[in-house]
Structure 1
Amino acid sequence: MTNPVNQLTLDWMAEYEKKCQRHLIDVDGQQVMWRQFGQGEPLLLIHGGHGSWLHWARNIDALSKKYTLYIADLAGYGDSSAPDFDDFESMVQVTAASIRSLLGPTTPFNLAGFSFGGLVSANVAAQGLAVKRLALLGPGGHGGPRRERGKLVNWKRALTDEELLQAMRFNLWAHMIYADEQIDPFAIGIHTYSCINTRFRSRGISGRGLLGPALDVYPGPTLIVWGEHDITCTPDYLMMHMIEGQPNRRGVILPDVGHWVNFEDAERVDPILVDWFAV
């Protein structure tokens, strides 16, 4: 196969690489990449499993007008180095250490995470870092029921560019995006780039129920946003079991969207995040 990432996505990446400042943070030999955009209070963004900083592509422009964004490639993803570990606890420790090195040990910051990155973010916040407010978008690790739309196909078995394209499109439909029209070449390009550059296995970790205990430790305000059709959870169930009776938590269910809410419905998610972190 040739380079399987489409030119639209490659061009976008080249444009935004010119706009950002890159920080490659060394944590005991593990290299963690953070990209910096904008000005203002620091807001850190963490991507999902089989993801990269590109999971936040549709949010950078709006959020960087209000905040200094630092967007991670977690260890074992994107431009960060291959991990020398395979456990979640090490992922949290390496991510937390990279943040301390990036910002300093006492600098207050806001933190948002998507999917597996939401689980990482909650556990980083529970480490006692100076997290002012936390936002989790379709976070993993909730321990509640899931809903299957279709079984993911093994894209690594694709022999041609067209087979790979079809696998990526199907998996986006099955797992990430509800509306067919949102599964566009940009979404497919992001998913292709991110999957190819994933070297850490997160799927089993997200099923271990590690989100609730972390949120019970973190004392700050927490926002959780789900798409109505998120197949990784049952949003109404989680509103009842994770939000109700928790005065420091707020839950939002966005209609007509799936799991990747910050991409599929950036027009609604961006103002929600700006307002949440503006307090």
Structure 2
Amino acid sequence: MTQISSKTPVASIQPEAQAAALLQQSERIVTDADGCRMVWRRFGEGHPVVLLHGGHGSWLHWVRNIEALAAHRAVWAPDMPGFGESDDIASDLSVMTGTLVRGIRQLPGCDKALSLVGFSFGGLVAANVAASLGTVCRLALMGSGGHGGIRRQQRALVDWRKAGDAEALAVAMRYNLEAFMLADPARIDAMAMYAHTESCRLTRFRSKNISRAGDLRCALDRFGGEVLLAWGEHDVTADPVRAIAAMTQDSPRREGRVIANAGHWVQYEAHAPVNALLDGWLPT
């Protein structure tokens, strides 16, 4: 087991070891929803909070947030179906929603009130799960897909699958992180590279067209509960001010925040303010 003490500089530890040390704090649970096995990791105790990652993602999308949120809660970080270690399903939003609803209902302590937090494609999924599950008390969406508004992406992504070797793969992954995920290239550290690369390599679900559809507002209307929406100031997938206005209009139970100096992967790039925001907003 890799031990990380308060005196160990985090930057000096390999990201694989950092992730392994974080997993040592978790309990691994596998659910089966009509033959689809999902891998979940539970951290901490208390009010249950389920974290749903983005497209081309995995539980590692929350690697900078889990410990802060789990200090006072039971945090569940799955690989959604078609991602990471979980089984495949059809690339369909309703199938994804139903599979997750059935999986959540099997989790210990999630039979009553719980909170959902979703990122990017996982934000759209979380809104649909919240509308279907019936026990979600609070819903927080980070850089959510499905808003149907304008996008601000200026650089096309490169096909990392065509990389011929490890060096070319690293170049492609760094380029895509800079073009799409993070606003400040200086924040592309070893963990960002590791989390993004590992998550992309294990992605089988096709989420892009689903994320770009404008279904988020309808899902939020069906949910009807307390919602927090946040986008990074420089998120290339949305105009944050317009997206927040469209999602919160005539809805007093919804509030929006623009996170300064951050891009799409807002909970990683601006993990300190996002952790503080979520810690103050989510129940304990």
Q: 1:37 — aligned with what?
A: 43
TM-score (norm 2): 0.93
Q: 1:4 — aligned with what?
A: none
Deviations, residues 104-160 of structure 1 (Å, cap 9, x unaligned): 674110110010110100000110420010000000011000011310000000001
SS in 1 for 2:105: helix
Of 184, 188, 197, 2:202 maps to 197
1:50 corresponds to 2:62: no
Q: 2:245 — aligned with what?
A: 240
Deviations, residues 49-86 of structure 1 (Å, cap 9, x unaligned): 00000000001111110111011100011111122x22
Where structure 2 has 5 or more consecutive residues not aligned to the other structure, the ranges are 1-12
Contact 1:106 1:129 survives alignment (8 Å): no
SS in 1 for 2:107: helix
Q: 1:229 — aligned with what?
A: 234
**1:1-279 alignment to 2 at 5 Å?**
8-83=14-89, 85-103=90-108, 106-278=111-283
SS in 2 for 1:24: strand
**Amino acid of the structure 2 residue aligned with 1:48:** G
**Amino acid of the structure 2 residue aligned with 1:47:** H
Deviations, residues 33-56 of structure 1 (Å, cap 9, x unaligned): 110001111111110000000000
Q: Percent identity?
A: 43
Distance 2:63 2:148 in 1: 28
**Amino acid of the structure 2 residue aligned with 1:201:** R
Where structure 1 has 5 or more consecutive residues not aligned to the other structure, the ranges are 1-6
Aligned residues: 272
TM-aligned CA deviation for residue 191 of structure 1: 0.3
Contact 2:47 2:283 survives alignment (8 Å): no
TM-aligned CA deviation for residue 230 of structure 1: 0.3
What is the root-mean-square deviation of aligned Cα atoms in Å?
A: 1.3
Q: 1:3 — aligned with what?
A: none
- The runs of at least 4 consecutive aligned structure 1 residues that moved more than 3 Å come to 103-106
Contact 2:152 2:237 survives alignment (8 Å): yes
Greater CA deviation, 56-65 or 11-20?
11-20
Q: 2:3 — aligned with what?
A: none
**Amino acid of the structure 2 residue aligned with 1:235:** P
SS in 2 for 1:19: coil
